[in-house]
Amino acid sequence: MKINSVCLELEESKSSPGIRVFDIAELSRYDGPGIRTVVYLQGCNAGCEWCHSPHSQSSVSPLMFLSSLCTACHRCVDACKQGVHKFINMKHCIDRSKCIQCGNCIKECPASVSGVSGSALSLPTAYATVDSLWEQIYPYLLLTKKSGGGITLSGGEALLQPQASIELLRRCREAGIHTSVETSGLLPVTIYRNVAPLVDTWMFGMRVITGKNHPRHDDHIRQVMTELAKHKCSILPRIPMVPGFYDCDDVLHSILSLLQQYHIDSIYLNPWNRNFDVNYYNSGIPLKMAVPSAREVATCESKIVSFFTHFKFDLYE
């Protein structure tokens, strides 16, 4: 992943007054202080092998299919004029390359409701304007404000839709609602410079690597953190405990060096997501890494916790 390669998408997004979202958690205890309303924006440029929401990476999510809810009624086969759904040897096969996202199969499916993500069939990407999204989440934001929480923009990579993100953050700032943004740190520094005045807390992904086959991003992350440090905001680094990636000595020492440079002494260690492969099966996206064994996960988590404990960091999950 080249940092500059995201510029094209950023330019394109300037002409879009809307926002693409693949999920909303109206009230969540995760992703920032207090109770949060978390808006998950569609699209990501990081391409991490261990991503547990692979359907969030492209600009539009593919059709999701939960086979456990399918009653094999064949109604979707008749409803889809593109020939996406087929039954071969009694197995429901889906050719997503032909899907035009019309939603007809979802309307006809007895186990699906449009806009409900746990349905047998779903199209997660919702298109909205900031106005309509604001109207939808504002009552929840009032509750989060009362609780000492606020809004979190997550993803995907929220800042790949900078105009929409800035407008949401600006409205929250005006309403006195705490703002948090989760980021990989892998966008151009100018984006962070523009958004930082509107952000109280950064949930910072510490993606010094995005995968075994990718170049290291230490220098870029350092530039971004230098920019964020100029503003009145807190930085909560998040380190995903991924076996074979974040438990490597050179990666751990790179992160340590960054944290020490910016005098950060509290970090969030994200445990390995045991359901990481579910959305690959549901979306038809091939896995990019092998599912680690329970022993590999335990060894990795133990090593990372010991490492940061040794250097006297306050650790949070």
With respect to ligand SF4, which residue has the nearer C-beta, 86 or 214?
A: 86
Q: Which is nearer to ligand SF4, 29 or 98 (CB)?
A: 98
The piece of 19-27, 109-117, 162-170, 218-226 that touches ligand SF4 (CB under 6 A) is: 109-117
Q: Does residue number 86 form part of the binding site for ligand SF4 (CB under 6 A)?
A: no
Nearer to ligand SF4, 82 or 194 (CB): 82
For residues 268 to 297, the per-residue mask of contacts with ligand SF4, x marking binding by CB under 6 A and - elsewhere, is ------------------------------
The tokens for 178 are 């705490």
CB of 129 to ligand SF4, least distance (A): 23
Stretch that binds ligand SF4, among 29-37, 102-110, 211-219, 223-231 (CB under 6 A): 102-110
Sole residue written with tokens 């007895």: 110
DSSP conformation class of 223: H
**From the list 18, 103, 162, 188, which residue makes contact with ligand SF4 (rule: CB under 6 A)?**
103
Identity of the residue, 97 or 213, whose beta carbon is nearer to ligand SF4 in the bound complex? 97
User: Any contact of residue 235 with ligand SF4 (CB under 6 A)?
Assistant: no
- Exposed, middle or buried by CB within 10 Å (0-12, 13-18, 19+), for 162? middle
Q: Are 121 and 112 in contact (CB under 8 A)?
A: yes
**Rounded CA separation 258/81 (Å):** 53
Q: How far is the CB of 123 from ligand SF4 (least distance, A)?
A: 6
Cα gap 268→278, rounded to integer Å:
24
Considering only 19, 51, 120, 153, the residue that binds ligand SF4 (CB under 6 A) is 120
Q: Does 111 bind ligand SF4 (CB under 6 A)?
A: yes
Let me know: does 308 contact 260? Beta carbons within 8 Å: no
- Maximum pairwise Cα distance, the chain: 61
Q: What is the sign of the dihedral through the CA atoms of 120, 123, 129 and 134? A: positive
Among 84, 153, 195, 252, binds ligand SF4 (CB under 6 A): 84
In DSSP notation, 185-225 reads S-S-HHHHHHHGGG-SEEEE---S-S-TTS---HHHHHHHH
| Rg value, the chain, Cα | 20
* E runs forming strands in 105-194: 121-122, 126-129, 150-154, 178-183
# binding residues, ligand SF4 (CB under 6 A): 27
Q: Which span (2-10, 54-62, 106-114, 229-237) binds ligand SF4, by CB under 6 A?
A: 106-114
Q: Which of 220, 217, 237 is nearest to 308 (CA)?
A: 237
Is there binding between residue 93 and ligand SF4 (CB under 6 A)? no
If one asks whether residue 64 binds ligand SF4 (CB under 6 A), the answer comes out as no
How far, in Å, CA of 178 to CA of 119, rounded?
A: 33
Contact with ligand SF4 (CB under 6 A) among 3, 39, 105, 259: 105
**Is 117 near ligand SF4 (CB under 6 A)?**
no
- Residue tagged 């990019």 (tokens): 288
Which residue of 10, 19, 109, 153 would you call a contact of ligand SF4, by CB under 6 A?
109
For 176, counting Cβ atoms within 10 Å of its Cβ (0-12 exposed, 13-18 middle, 19+ buried), the class is: exposed
| Contact positions vs ligand SF4 (CB under 6 A) | 63, 70-76, 79-80, 82, 84, 92, 99-105, 108-112, 120-121
